[in-house]
Structure 1
Amino acid sequence: MLDVAVRAGNRAKREVIGRVPPVRDLSDRLHRQRLRRHEPHLPQIAPERAAVVSTLRDDGVCVTSLDRLAVTGTARLQGGLAALAERIAGRPRTGPDSSRPSLDEVLAEPGVWQWGLQHELLDLVESHLGLPVRYHGADLRREDATARTIGVRQWHRDQEDHRMFKVLVWLNDVDLDGGPFEYVSRRHTDRLVRSLRYVTGFVSDEAMRAQVPESQWRQATGPRWTAVVADTRAVFHRAMPPRREDRYSVTFSYTSRTPMTTLPVPPATPQQRELATSGLDDRQRACLPRTFLR
């Protein structure tokens, strides 16, 4: 019930910001002020990571790999992800086209959860957002090869913040029939937002095709351990429906600590809080959702 109420409130807030010019202008002005205040405190990052930020600013998506990101703890991450993927692979198909491990299962693999809090990754995220980071965790899932176009398999644009940062990692080889991340460029997205007067919700394939030729839809295919780094507010995107085989992936998600809308977060148990915060320093702890810090 709380989740439904929060989502309804967020949708109403997005509608007001998106459709009432004085409110939208105020939101944008406050965001610009925060960016200016924080600019002197932004971390210095290596040239190869600065190139990722540049690609996000220009195009909205950068397709790379875990090896090229070279984040501390990647080998441990891969071991934990392989164990979790194997666990959900054998589960019956009872849900609406996808399955996830529980939060307890993910937290029990600290190499997975805490990879998203490694300092070099936080530096990369902060450099793109321009603001202190809020980490929303690791979402591992199996997308069943049903070919159905439902939920996030439909075109949409995330609206939680002015800038967003996600790292999607393929846990199996993903080709065009395997449900890759599909998107249109930032340039097309900016035009679509205006022409469709888009604020929130899903856009059909037919409506997208009428605005952007299908030949310009891009698919982030790749072998296992491909990493798709995306600003999911900057581009219209979707998870293509898997048709031939299930897709296994994990998504690490980030916003600023002053997002446009709040994400529903259920209360954490004492054991979950202990697992989520074990071994973290002050900066890493400050990035966690408040539910893990009470």
Structure 2
Amino acid sequence: MSTDVARRNVENYYNILRAQRRDVPTALSEADQRIVTALREAGVYQTRLEDLDLVGSEQMLSQARDVRRDIEMRVAAGPAHLDDPYLIQANKIELKDRPDIYLFGLNERLLRIVENYLGLPVAFGGFNFFYTLADGCERGARVWHLDGEDESIVKIAIYLNDVGEDGGPFEMIRSRLFKGARPYTRPARHEKLERIIGRNISADEIVTCTGPTGSVIFCDTARYYHRGKPATGQNRTAIFFNYYPRPPRRPYFCGKPIVGLEDFAGETHRLTDYQRQSALWRDNVPSIAKYLLPR
């Protein structure tokens, strides 16, 4: 089978499956609907864990504090203990015995919010637990970029310390910089991005999400350019939960999470079928779709 034929087959697979699954949204509470509306109108919504009042929040935060302590010990031990000093995140050893962080990402309210925004069932892509050094370095996720898993995806960030202007806050450019088809551009520093679009990006166009410990940020990171502002005054610890349409159009870009449901087999009794389907979506993606990108 030629690559073009295989790619058309993959495209047909996605189109048929998505047409069958369009009628998924369920009624939400007024508070949760506000999040969906904000994502549709602005691409971002910020709140606090205490206001969301989600089941499992305290357990998640308790285990997250323990993970942060472990990372800080690793950082203090020196660069030899870090895979990449510019992209420090929790490893499997630090996460595998702390299931409540992963399970929090499968909270049904969060899944329903994302589902209503995307208009499709949700694929839960796990989470990344980042520890950002206040080194002022502009690289990796600290340059402007778009995520490529699909045309729309949602990331939910939770700050584990107070984050001010110099503490590496999440930032998003509220304007859609490109019209029409989604551009496939490489990450770019601020000045380079301005050269690409041919104009200056005004301060009013940038949403800077500062906030106290427990701040929660919902954002469509495939439609809007975003970054972690380079931290200069304080290290930042944050968890980013990843959500895609099920199935995502580009599973090739959906990296395998550091921990997944298979690492917490003893906890699956705590999940509904709906949650399991969101967690195990990779089991139902055709093998060829994992390696070919729809045009």
Same fold (TM over 0.5): yes
Q: Within 2, Cα distance between the matches of 1:39 and 1:269?
A: 27
Q: What is the aligned partner in structure 2 of residue 247 from structure 1?
A: 236
Q: 1:156 aligns with which of 141, 145, 149?
A: 145
1:288 aligns with 2:276: no
1:71 aligns with 2:27: no
Aligned ranges for residues 33-112 of structure 1 at < 5 Å? 37-92=20-75, 93-94=78-79, 95-112=84-101
Q: Within 1, Cα distance between the matches of 2:102 and 2:180?
A: 39
1:279 aligns with 2:270: yes
Secondary structure of the 2:227 match is strand
Q: What is the aligned partner in structure 1 of residue 192 from structure 2?
A: 207
* Percent identity of paired positions between Structure 1 and Structure 2: 26
1:258 aligns with 2:247: yes
| Cα separation, partners in 2 of 1:198 and 1:267, compared to 1, 3 Å | closer
Asked if the contact 1:155/1:236 (under 8 Å) is kept, the reply is yes
Amino acid of the structure 2 residue aligned with 1:202: P
Shift of 1:162: 2.1
Secondary structure of the 1:41 match is coil
Unmatched tracts of structure 1, length 5 or more: 1-12, 17-22
Secondary structure of the 1:227 match is strand
Residues 34-53 of structure 1: CA deviation (Å, up to 9, x unaligned): 66643433221101100000
Q: 1:224 aligns with which of 213, 231, 242?
A: 213
Q: Within 2, Cα distance between the matches of 1:103 and 1:282?
A: 26
Q: TM-score, normalised by structure 1?
A: 0.80
1:193 aligns with 2:178: yes
Q: 1:184 aligns with which of 166, 169, 173?
A: 173
Q: What is the aligned partner in structure 2 of residue 118 from structure 1?
A: 107
Asked if the contact 1:266/1:291 (under 8 Å) is kept, the reply is no
Q: Within 2, Cα distance between the matches of 1:292 and 1:268?
A: 16
Aligned residues: 266
Amino acid of the structure 1 residue aligned with 2:184: V
Asked if the contact 2:125/2:257 (under 8 Å) is kept, the reply is no
Unmatched tracts of structure 2, length 5 or more: 285-295
Q: Within 2, Cα distance between the matches of 1:288 and 1:76?
A: 20
| Cα separation, partners in 2 of 1:272 and 1:104, compared to 1, 3 Å | farther
Q: 2:164 aligns with which of 148, 166, 175?
A: 175
Secondary structure of the 1:252 match is strand
Secondary structure of the 2:123 match is strand
Shift of 1:289: 4.0
Shift of 1:86: 1.5
| Cα separation, partners in 2 of 1:34 and 1:127, compared to 1, 3 Å | farther
Q: Within 2, Cα distance between the matches of 1:83 and 1:160?
A: 30
| Cα separation, partners in 2 of 1:56 and 1:291, compared to 1, 3 Å | closer
Amino acid of the structure 1 residue aligned with 2:249: M
Q: Within 2, Cα distance between the matches of 1:260 and 1:140?
A: 25
| Cα separation, partners in 2 of 1:219 and 1:117, compared to 1, 3 Å | same
| Cα separation, partners in 2 of 1:54 and 1:136, compared to 1, 3 Å | same
Asked if the contact 1:74/1:115 (under 8 Å) is kept, the reply is yes
Q: Within 1, Cα distance between the matches of 2:11 and 2:128?
A: 29
